[in-house]
């Protein structure tokens, strides 16, 4: 019952953090961690509640170290963040704050984007131990002063953190108890300091997701005495927290961005937020991944963003941090989708082959997606033998996946030679469309013909879509979207359904737009972010249907 709430919070974090790791592993300090990879937060400001356990110079140093650790996390440097957390613990061994930061670092290594329940519990147990230590030291502060703001803050913080970990491990009762106790502490902090950014970040996220639950689950949470939520208040809390310096400031920004991106379906607003994040922390694949997915829905920046994504991918491929390389693998899959659409099929093919060779085991949906789209691209290129070798390789087989089963039965058909040649001919046209040379693209498309729905319909629709011609674009995309999802070209069919939804949304046909989105994602794994974003876009269209467009 509480899983829906707290797992939603976990999903919000996964949208902006790399969680594609197999098991929490020991981390060691790099040769130097004196300077973080980015300075989105400013050291030297008093941004946390002092516990009174440290002299002023040590308090200032602990404050600066906490900011540095969070900077490292958002720069994609969890190993360096862990080293800073160890330094904090050496400086203040009986203060709860170093343990909260250490737990925050370890949380990066928890598997969450796959469907294997048995992976999570061993990974979260060490984090529980660290949080229990934080609670022990926070309890001492509360014992000395029942209304101690720092004691209540850090104890509530740790308990809400534990609630999420319990929920990820399917320990629902423990999650409910921890959430209830943690929110009680944080509510007391907000009574004393209504704009405390750390408390607002945690409570704001909770309020948002608690109110997002279906009615039946809300009743169940009421029966368990789990605090209720408030979407608008939660978003307001997070917005306040993003504007106040704190160790949680970037988490508040990230949560707000993830909510806009993956739950509210406000992709235009989310794009601005992640652009700002990328400015503060350039080169971090976890912060560029949302932009790549938005490009699948809103392609007006696709060519420009592909260049940015390419820079990030190349740098992250060389990272010594396994976590960074793992999240980069997800980004590379979405990069490959965009490369296929943008007429860069050679780059997409090379990218997918490389991913096939070194795809991480977590998340478990990633490998099947790589294989299916690589095989599909091979068919469009006329490489039917290569496609069958890829799918029939026992290392790549997944008999639980209906697309693999269809391949194994031999039901997938190759592209006729004429279509293969047409696919090659359309590549420069695709590049022209996204590069802005629309007159050239229009003249070339006028010379190309094919009787069945195919990528030609997609590019004709895309050209009209980017020109703002809804009436011309919609029939092209609908023709492809309504075609059976069989044979090569599945990416074009699925993205065409996203386009139909956007066009219907522009026409105010929100109910039909939601149906098109549902059709678009019925073959995506339940943990794939494209599916989550489409679900958020469905909620956006539902909101617009009820309330009308904002002025």
Given pLDDT bands bounded at 50, 70 and 90, which one contains residue 471? Answer: very high
- Which helix (H) or strand (E) element contains residue 375? helix 366-380
The mean-pLDDT minimum among 115-124, 134-143, 188-197, 387-396 falls in 387-396
Same domain, 20 and 132: yes
123 close to 323: Cβ distance less than 8 angstroms: no
Cα distance between residue 480 and residue 466, in whole Å: 18
Domain-located, residue 41: no
Domain-located, residue 491: yes
pLDDT of 224 strictly over 90: no
Same domain, 299 and 375: no
- Tell me the per-residue pLDDT of 48-58, one tens digit each, with 9 for 90 and over: 899 999 999 99
Domain-located, residue 423: no
Spacing of C-alpha 402 from chain mean position: 25
pLDDT of 274 strictly over 60: yes
Which residue among 375, 390, 414 closes a domain?
A: 414
Same domain, 175 and 212: yes
Number of domains in the chain: 4
Among 259, 227, 244, CA closest to 12 = 259
Same domain, 58 and 155: yes
The model scores a pTM over 0.85: yes
Given pLDDT bands bounded at 50, 70 and 90, which one contains residue 171? Answer: confident
Among 6, 18, 26, CA closest to 328 = 18
pLDDT the model gives residue 228: 58
Same domain, 17 and 76: yes
Same domain, 276 and 258: no
CB atoms within 10 A of CB 46: 10
CA angle 22/261/19 to nearest 5° reads 10
Which residue among 211, 240, 263 closes a domain?
A: 263
pLDDT of 5 strictly over 60: no
Among 70, 147, 135, CA closest to 96 = 135
pLDDT the model gives residue 32: 25
Domain-located, residue 472: yes
Domain-located, residue 39: no
Which residue among 328, 352, 376 closes a domain?
A: 352
Given pLDDT bands bounded at 50, 70 and 90, which one contains residue 14? Answer: very low
Q: What is the CATH number of the domain that holds 539?
A: 1.25.40.10
Give the residue numbers spanning the domain of 61.
2-34+48-263
- Tell me the per-residue pLDDT of 231-263, one tens digit each, with 9 for 90 and over: 899 999 999 999 998 999 999 999 999 999 989
pLDDT the model gives residue 529: 84
Same domain, 18 and 110: yes
Structure tokens at 231: 């979407």
- Stretch 350-376: mean pLDDT, rounded? 90
pLDDT the model gives residue 320: 86
Average pLDDT, the chain: 85
523 close to 488: Cβ distance less than 8 angstroms: no
Given pLDDT bands bounded at 50, 70 and 90, which one contains residue 551? Answer: low
pLDDT the model gives residue 17: 39
Among 131, 46, 61, 132, CA closest to 91 = 61
pLDDT the model gives residue 470: 97
Domain-located, residue 102: yes
Same domain, 256 and 377: no
Domain-located, residue 181: yes
Percent of the chain with pLDDT strictly greater than 70: 82
84 close to 100: Cβ distance less than 8 angstroms: no
Structure tokens at 65: 């170290």
Same domain, 173 and 61: yes
Same domain, 288 and 205: no
- Tell me the per-residue pLDDT of 64-111, one tens digit each, with 9 for 90 and over: 999 999 999 999 899 999 999 999 999 999 999 999 999 999 998 887
Q: What is the dihedral of CA 74, 212, 272, 268, to 10 degrees?
A: 150
Structure tokens at 45: 């400001």
Cα distance between residue 380 and residue 551, in whole Å: 44
Domain-located, residue 82: yes
Same domain, 150 and 175: yes
Percent of the chain with pLDDT strictly greater than 90: 65
Same domain, 120 and 249: yes
Spacing of C-alpha 240 from chain mean position: 22
């Amino acid at each position: 019952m509480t899983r829906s709430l707290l797992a939603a919070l976990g999903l919000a974090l996964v949208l902006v953090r790399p969680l594609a790791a197999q098991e929490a592993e020991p981390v060691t300090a790099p040769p130097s961690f004196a300077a973080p990879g980015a300075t989105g937060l400013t050291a030297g400001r008093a941004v946390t509640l002092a516990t009174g356990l440290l002299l002023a110079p040590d308090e200032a140093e602990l404050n600066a170290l906490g900011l540095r650790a969070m900077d490292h996390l958002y720069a994609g440097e969890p190993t360096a963040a862990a080293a800073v957390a160890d330094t904090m613990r050496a400086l203040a061994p009986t203060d709860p704050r170093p343990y909260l930061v250490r737990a925050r670092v370890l949380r990066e290594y928890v598997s969450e984007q796959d469907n294997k329940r048995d992976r999570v519990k061993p990974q979260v147990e060490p984090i529980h131990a660290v949080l229990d230590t934080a609670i022990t030291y926070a309890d001492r502060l509360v014992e000395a002063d029942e209304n101690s703001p720092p004691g209540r803050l850090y104890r509530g913080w740790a308990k809400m953190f534990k609630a999420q970990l319990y929920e990820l491990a399917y320990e629902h009762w423990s999650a409910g108890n921890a959430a209830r106790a943690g929110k009680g502490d944080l509510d007391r902090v907000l009574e004393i300091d209504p704009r405390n950014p750390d408390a607002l970040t945690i409570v704001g996220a909770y309020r948002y997701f608690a109110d997002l639950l279906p009615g039946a689950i809300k009743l169940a949470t009421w029966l368990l005495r789990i605090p209720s939520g408030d979407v608008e208040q939660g978003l307001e809390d997070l917005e306040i927290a993003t504007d106040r310096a704190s160790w949680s400031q970037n988490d508040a920004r990230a949560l707000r961005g993830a909510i806009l991106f993956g739950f509210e379906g406000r992709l235009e607003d989310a794009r601005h937020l992640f652009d700002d994040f990328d400015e503060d922390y350039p080169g971090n694949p976890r912060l560029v991944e949302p932009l790549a997915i938005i490009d699948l829905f809103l392609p007006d920046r696709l060519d420009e963003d592909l260049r940015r994504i390419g820079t990030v991918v190349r740098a992250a491929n060389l990272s010594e941090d396994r976590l960074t390389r793992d999240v980069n693998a997800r980004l590379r899959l979405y990069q490959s989708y965009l490369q296929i659409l943008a007429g860069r099929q050679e780059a997409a093919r090379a990218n997918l082959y490389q991913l096939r060779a070194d795809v991480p085991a977590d998340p478990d949906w990633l490998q099947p997606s790589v294989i299916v789209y690589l095989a599909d691209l091979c068919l469009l290129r006329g490489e039917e033998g290569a496609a069958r070798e890829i799918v029939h390789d026992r290392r790549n087989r997944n008999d639980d996946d209906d697309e693999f089963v269809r391949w194994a039965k031999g039901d997938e058909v190759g592209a006729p030679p004429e279509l293969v040649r047409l696919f090659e001919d359309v590549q420069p046209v695709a590049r022209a469309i996204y590069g802005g040379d629309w007159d050239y693209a229009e003249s070339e498309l006028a010379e190309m013909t094919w009787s069945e729905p195919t990528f030609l319909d997609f590019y004709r629709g895309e050209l009209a879509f980017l020109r703002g011609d809804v009436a011309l674009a919609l029939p092209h995309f609908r023709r492809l979207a309504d075609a059976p999802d069989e044979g090569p070209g599945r990416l074009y069919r699925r993205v065409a359904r996203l386009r139909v939804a956007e066009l219907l949304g522009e026409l105010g046909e929100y109910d039909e737009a939601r149906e098109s989105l549902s059709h678009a994602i019925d073959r995506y794994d339940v943990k794939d972010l494209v599916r989550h974003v489409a679900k958020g876009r469905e909620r956006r269209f539902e909101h617009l249907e009820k309330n009308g467009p904002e002025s």
